[in-house]
């Protein structure tokens, strides 16, 4: 089909049409970079995207091949269409069922704390991994973030505008592809002063766009207007929008200030990378007061949620945001433009019932792999997988090490949460139950803990963020018992990837919960000794919150631990 310029605008297929072995069911979306269809092959649903055979289409396939991440749409392979005289790449993608981020926010009307813990924090960590893989998305917006129905996780889709930081020629000159409302000031400044060189896109462009998304979610207003505004580019370059808390008083001041930092006109005044943004978001969660639990907009739904009783069922947050690795067993064969690969698969692990903790978890690297049925083209212009046989692919590859970086110590409280906690400690009615418990006695660290710290270049004697299980999406706190506990590290610690599991034990004091972690599960499944103690800037342990009892304590499930040489 030709457009008004006489160029191919994309094929249009009716339901039931077979394309490269896929049966078309319906059109999902169509844009300047291709058309996406819901399709089925061998009874399994897919999203297939048809893009032109040109450098841009090759770039999208190359970017997708670099991504092996549970919060990024999965790429299963590609073929050519039509087979006799191909003009199109047929990209086989994961079918992500769910709402776009703006539709999800309109339906859920989350609180500020929910918005951060359910969307902004995991998405910032996703962007950090995307950028570490050498990819800049360049079209971050609500429509390209799907909140997956199966687990509530934000999934980044549509890499049609993606750029590779290394090893790929620049395909655009004056301005990179993208959406006008989300372009960064530096991109527009470059266009104004253009002298013929391609725009040097960077991860900062994605972070700016995430700032626009964050602003829109909290205010339901784009910070600089939309493309119908003839002065849009000038507003991005010169205008400072009202802070989110000014437009919406339900936005906590600290979160409003964080958003405005993301939208500073000067790149050096913003966050240096997505991981630094994630660290600040996690810090804000640890300092959040009750105002963070009020729904962002006053609608018919209940604004303030009551605390659940200890016996109330609690929904589980997915235990793994990240995968340790994925090994594909390539078996070429069959007819058509694609041939199926037989992947090494393992059923995903089951979440433990509320209140239960694993006692002595055996190494479980298979449970860190998302089962997928991979595809590869029969007539290859590119290939997914490494050509390994099933026998060679019996174990998953460990995740790539994170770049070494120093972790900042915990900053001082920016909200009143610490004051509320202190008030709770002082009041006799805050925590019910026996009041005679004392902190755990001093103890030695497990042998070899220091060697683990050195092995993974973890900066000692600094506070580090963790999240403990179970994670409740409705109440971003944990209702915990004394005894064994599982946690995940948030940003990477040195060469230890984010969301690595650590294991330890919780102890109840008079008004605090104390925690000691002694084991860490490494990416290859090995268990190594570690010596971490739960603490805050005020000292050991974390204050129990209202609703705690002698059997169940409510505490923030995003907390800090520090490496110690001896348990105090």
Over the chain (568 residues), the average pLDDT of each successive run of 10 is 44 92 92 84 94 85 88 90 89 95 96 94 94 94 94 92 69 71 93 75 94 98 91 95 97 98 96 94 88 87 42 34 28 32 29 35 32 33 32 33 33 32 30 52 91 84 73 59 87 80 91 92 88 82 84 80 87
Three-class DSSP category at 527? strand
| The pLDDT value given to residue 191 | 83
| The pLDDT value given to residue 246 | 97
The domain over range 417-567 is classified in CATH as 1.10.1060? no
Cα–Cα distance between 355 and 360 in angstroms, integer? 16
- Sign for the pseudo-dihedral over CA of 17, 18, 19, 22: positive
| The pLDDT value given to residue 41 | 93
Cα–Cα distance between 454 and 494 in angstroms, integer? 10
Instruction: DSSP letter for 352, please.
Output: P
- CB-based contact 60:30 (threshold 8 Å): no
- CB-based contact 365:321 (threshold 8 Å): no
- CB-based contact 262:210 (threshold 8 Å): yes
Cα–Cα distance between 416 and 325 in angstroms, integer? 40
| Token reading at 31 | 């844009």
Buried b (16+ CB within 10 A) or exposed e, 415-450: bbbbebbeebeeeeebbeeeeebeebeeeebeeebe
Kindly state the helix (H) or strand (E) to which residue 519 belongs, with its residue range: strand 512-521
* pTM reported for the whole predicted model: 0.59
CATH class of the domain defined by 101-293 = mainly alpha
CATH 3.30.200.20 segments of the chain: 1-95+330-350+358-397
Cα–Cα distance between 272 and 94 in angstroms, integer? 31
Cα–Cα distance between 485 and 482 in angstroms, integer? 8
Q: ∠29-66-79 over CA atoms, to 5°?
A: 55
Q: What is the CA radius of gyration of the chain?
A: 25
| The pLDDT value given to residue 537 | 66
Cα–Cα distance between 424 and 301 in angstroms, integer? 29
| The pLDDT value given to residue 488 | 85
- Side-chain-side CA neighbours of 385 within 13 Å: the count stands at 28
- Per-residue CA distances from 283 to 202, 415, 447, 502 (Å): 25, 10, 31, 20
Cα–Cα distance between 563 and 489 in angstroms, integer? 13
| Token reading at 204 | 């900062």
Cα–Cα distance between 312 and 517 in angstroms, integer? 28
Three-class DSSP category at 299? coil
Cα–Cα distance between 321 and 298 in angstroms, integer? 31
CATH 2.40.128 segments of the chain: 417-567
- Per-residue CA distances from 115 to 112, 248, 332, 552, 555 (Å): 5, 15, 44, 26, 19
- Sign for the pseudo-dihedral over CA of 326, 318, 95, 145: negative
Residue 556, beta-bridge partner list: 477
Helix-helix angle 121-132:274-286, to 10 degrees: 160
Cα–Cα distance between 374 and 196 in angstroms, integer? 42
Q: What is the largest CA-CA distance in the chain?
A: 82
CATH topology of domain 1-95+330-350+358-397: Phosphorylase Kinase; domain 1 (3.30.200)
DSSP H helices in 487-553: none
| The pLDDT value given to residue 437 | 64
| Token reading at 262 | 């993301």
CATH 1.10.510.10 segments of the chain: 101-293
């Amino acid at each position: 089909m030709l457009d008004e310029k006489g160029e191919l605008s994309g094929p249009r297929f009716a339901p039931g049409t077979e394309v490269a072995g896929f049966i078309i069911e319906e059109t999902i979306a169509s844009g300047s970079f291709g058309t996406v269809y819901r399709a089925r092959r061998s009874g399994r649903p897919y999203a297939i995207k048809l893009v032109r055979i040109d450098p841009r289409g090759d770039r999208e396939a190359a970017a997708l091949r670099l991504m092996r991440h549970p919060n990024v749409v999965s790429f299963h392979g590609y073929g050519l269409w039509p087979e006799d005289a191909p003009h199109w790449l047929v990209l086989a993608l994961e079918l992500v069922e769910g709402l776009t981020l703006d539709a999800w926010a309109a339906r859920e009307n989350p609180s500020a704390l929910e918005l951060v813990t359910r969307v902004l924090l995991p998405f910032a960590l996703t962007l950090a991994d995307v950028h570490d893989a050498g990819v800049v998305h360049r079209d971050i917006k609500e429509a390209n973030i799907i909140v997956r129905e199966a687990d509530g996780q934000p999934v980044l889709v549509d890499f049609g505008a993606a750029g590779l930081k290394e090893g790929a020629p620049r395909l655009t000159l004056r301005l990179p592809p993208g959406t006008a409302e989300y372009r960064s000031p530096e991109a527009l400044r470059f266009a104004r002063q253009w002298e013929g060189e391609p725009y040097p896109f960077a991860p900062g462009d994605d972070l700016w766009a995430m700032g626009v998304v964050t602003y829109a979610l909290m205010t339901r207003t784009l910070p600089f207007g939309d493309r119908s505004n003839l002065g849009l580019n000038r507003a991005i370059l010169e205008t400072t929008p009202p802070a989110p808390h000014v437009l919406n008083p339900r936005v906590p001041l600290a979160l409003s200030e964080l958003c405005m930092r993301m939208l500073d006109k000067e790149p050096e005044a913003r966050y240096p990378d997505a991981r630094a943004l994630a660290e600040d978001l996690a810090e804000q969660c640890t300092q959040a007061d009750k105002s963070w639990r009020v729904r962002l907009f006053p609608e018919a739904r209940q604004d303030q949620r009551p605390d659940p009783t200890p016996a109330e069922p609690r929904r589980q947050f997915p235990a793994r945001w990240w995968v340790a690795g994925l090994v594909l067993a390539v078996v070429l064969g069959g007819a058509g433009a694609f041939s199926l690969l037989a992947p090494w698969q393992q059923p995903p692990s089951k979440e433990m019932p509320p209140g239960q903790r694993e006692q002595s978890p055996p190494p479980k690297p298979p449970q860190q792999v998302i089962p997928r049925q991979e595809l590869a083209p029969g007539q290859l212009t590119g290939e997914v997988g490494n050509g390994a046989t099933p026998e060679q692919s019996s174990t998953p590859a460990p995740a790539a090490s994170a770049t070494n970086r120093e972790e900042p110590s915990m900053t001082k409280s920016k909200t009143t949460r610490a004051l509320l906690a202190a008030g709770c400690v002082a009041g006799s009615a805050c925590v019910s139950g026996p009041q005679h418990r004392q902190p755990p006695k001093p103890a030695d660290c497990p042998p070899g803990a220091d060697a683990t710290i050195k092995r993974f270049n973890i900066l000692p004697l600094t506070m580090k963020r963790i999240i403990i299980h179970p994670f409740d999406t409705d109440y971003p706190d944990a209702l915990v018992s004394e005894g064994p506990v599982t946690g995940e590290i948030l940003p990477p610690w040195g060469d230890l990837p984010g969301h690595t599991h650590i294991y330890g034990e919780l102890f109840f004091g008079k008004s605090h919960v104390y925690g000691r972690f002694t084991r860490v599960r490494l990416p290859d499944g090995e268990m190594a000794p570690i010596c971490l103690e739960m603490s805050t800037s005020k000292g050991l342990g974390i204050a129990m919150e209202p609703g705690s009892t002698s059997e169940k304590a409510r505490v923030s499930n995003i907390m800090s631990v520090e490496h110690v040489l001896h348990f105090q």
